[in-house]
Structure 1
Amino acid sequence: MSKGPDKQDWFAAGLKERLPKEMRDAFTPEQVQALKIAFGARRWGRHPVDLRGTVNLWRSRYYFVFLLGRNHRDLSRAEESLSRAGKALILFGFLVFSMLVGVVALYILKSALGINLFPSFSLGLWDWMKGS
């Protein structure tokens, strides 16, 4: 999998962008690589949600890190099958929820029109909605 020049040299492009014009071409590729290593540049280190902090409990300090962002890595076979199962479960849950909302809406409509499917039986939804 080949990467384009933008993805390979993002650090150098960002560095040159921030430098004054007369210094942009002053660094050799080896120097740019050394700067990249020295600054610990990580492209994967940017997250939309990045919460870091420390908590003092008794005599110890504990740190916490909460990161949230899109996963750009390739998934393993197990992760792919788990992802498919999760998506199927979410879709199934959404369909069941939608059907329940539809059935309740139809039941309320039936009650509003005064149609009784079973004599002397009501869930009381329509009476509850009229009362509130």
Structure 2
Amino acid sequence: MTQNRSNQEYTHVKQLLSKMDPEIAASFSYKQRKALHKAINTRGWNNHAIDFRPTLVMPFLPWSFYIVLLGGVNKRSLSNTERITAAIMFLISLLIVGVILVGVVLVVLYLLKSWLGIDIFADESLGLWDYFKTLFD
């Protein structure tokens, strides 16, 4: 198994070299090819806390699709575009959490108002208090 894995890893180096100009690829020494092999085999960059890669095979189609969801601590520096995207995502997340919290607070205040018997608009109700009471009957 290690021999097969080793051949596969050298195949990656050969594939990399095949995409270069033939003169440049031929100029690599044995030590340089070993260094490429070592760099390709460094798997530290692909360890993720969340690594979900399902494959979707469609019947009667000659190809399949895959989806990748990765998550973890970002160890690389961000480009300007990534910084802007991260800031926008943070603001959107903050907005969503804020809206949810405001909604929960309003529902709790409404239930507290109804429990205390405070009637702000005569003969008007959301029906939330009646529904809440039926949960405990």
TM-score by length of 1: 0.62
Corresponding residue number in structure 1 for 2:66: 64
The CA deviation at 1:34 is 2.2
The higher-RCO structure (CA 8 Å, 6+ apart) is 2
Distance 1:80 1:119, change over 3 A: same
Distance 1:85 1:63, change over 3 A: closer
Stretches of 4+ aligned residues off by more than 4 angstroms: none
Q: Deviations over 1:3-49 (max 9, x none)?
A: xxxxxxxxxxxxxxxxxxxxxxxxxxx5xx82871693132122331
The CA deviation at 1:124 is 1.0
Distance 1:100 1:84, change over 3 A: same
1:46 aligns with 2:40: no
1:76 aligns with 2:65: no
Question: 1:55 is matched with which residue: 54, 57, 63?
Answer: 57
1:114 aligns with 2:117: yes
Q: Deviations over 1:76-120 (max 9, x none)?
A: 112211211110111122112101100110100110111101111
Distance 1:65 1:36, change over 3 A: farther
Distance 1:39 1:55, change over 3 A: farther
Distance 1:117 1:85, change over 3 A: same
Number of residue-to-residue matches in the alignment: 102
TM-score by length of 2: 0.60
Please tell me the residue identity of whatever aligns with 1:128. Answer: Y
The answer for unaligned runs of 5 or more in structure 2 is 1-30
The answer for unaligned runs of 5 or more in structure 1 is 1-29
- Matching of residues 1-132 of structure 1 within 5 Å: 34=34, 37=37, 40-41=40-41, 42-47=43-48, 48-51=50-53, 53=55, 55=57, 57-58=59-60, 60-62=62-64, 64=66, 66-70=68-72, 71-132=74-135
- Given that residues 50 and 68 in structure 1 are in contact (C-alpha distance below 8 angstroms), is that contact kept between their aligned partners in structure 2? yes
Q: Aligned Cα RMSD in Å?
A: 2.8
